[in-house]
Amino acid sequence: MNAPIKKIVLPVAGLGTRFLPATKAIPKEMLPVLDRPLIQYAVEEALEAGIEDIILVTGRNKQVMEDHFDHAYELEKILQEKGKEEALEISRSMLLEEGRISYVRQMRPLGLGHAIWCARKLVNGHPFAVALPDDLIKGKPGALKQMVEAYNELGGNLVATMDVAKEDTSKYGVITPGARKGKNIEVKGLVEKPHPEDAPSTQAVVGRYILQPEVMAYLEEKAVGAGGEIQLTDAMAKLIGEQPFHALEFEGRRFDCGSKLGWLMANLSMAAEDPYLASKLKELITFQ
């Protein structure tokens, strides 16, 4: 029986330079998609998947995320006095039970692999999930729940993938695929940001993973990879052949909210599902 996935690591220490000057004082993970920040979508997706322990790997000037998942006593008092019960409930909607959310600091920006390694003490030898909040994935059920269900059957390590254009493979980690069964694909190899002519497939890894704790030993080596950073992909590749390793071509739509276009598209997609906002968008587009 596979050990259950009860922990998730959310790397949120990035600088968000593509959204400057907005991200000079506000973490990119707090940028809203409609009325919720990106980090909240990731946490809600994890909770839907049955994950219990949320680990945020933060950096300097990221304290506002800790505040988001805590009481805002002054705001709550004012809302209560004014009888704004609905707003009060919304302000409390992301309060987790004490001890379910933890924070660890990535003191130097050395890459995604390094950020995951910073959480090693909190992972504490358990299999764990990873979600990149920049990747907002719309799906029912959520991508993490789909992955946990696949993991319960397959065990080992699991990455979420989607099919991309050949010319876009240089933007992603790309798998060498093996046998396929439905949406599950055996992973024979992994390469980070290959040139399109060298890409082993067009199955690109997006920001959802389920990993065995042995990956931490390879991250401990702090080997520098693509972009001069410690790459998670390189450490995961070393697990192939040692442990079961699969990809799940998830059902849903992924938005790269680390880019302005992806963030804008995510907002429009969410707005299109709201009857009032959808009608107003239609009026605006028709008017223009």
Is residue 246 within 8 A of residue 240, CB to CB? The reply is no
Rounded CA-CA distance 215/237 in Å is 9
Position 51 in a domain: yes
Position 1 in a domain: no
For 197-223, write each residue's pLDDT tens digit: 999 999 999 999 999 999 999 999 887
**Residue 96 sits in which domain range?**
7-287
Which pair of tokens denotes residue 85?
A: 């019960």
Q: Which residue(s) pair with 249 in the sheet?
A: 161
Residue 109: what residue type? P
DSSP 8-state assignment for residue 264: H
136-147: average pLDDT = 95
DSSP 8-state assignment for residue 267: H
Question: What SS3 class is residue 173?
Answer: strand
Task: Say how many C-beta atoms besides its own lie within 10 A of residue 239's C-beta.
Answer: 20
Helix (H) or strand (E) holding 48: helix 38-48
In this prediction the pTM is: 0.91
For 94-136, write each residue's pLDDT tens digit: 888 888 999 999 988 888 999 999 999 999 999 999 999 999 9
Phi, psi at residue 229, to the nearest 5°?
-120, 165
Position 53 in a domain: yes
DSSP 8-state assignment for residue 226: G
First to last CA, the chain: 58
For 55-106, write each residue's pLDDT tens digit: 999 988 788 888 888 888 899 899 888 899 999 888 888 888 888 999 999 9
Q: What is the CATH number of the domain that holds 24?
A: 3.90.550.10
Position 2 in a domain: no
- Residue that wins the pLDDT comparison between 281 and 195: 195
Q: Work out how many domains the chain is built from and give that number.
A: 1
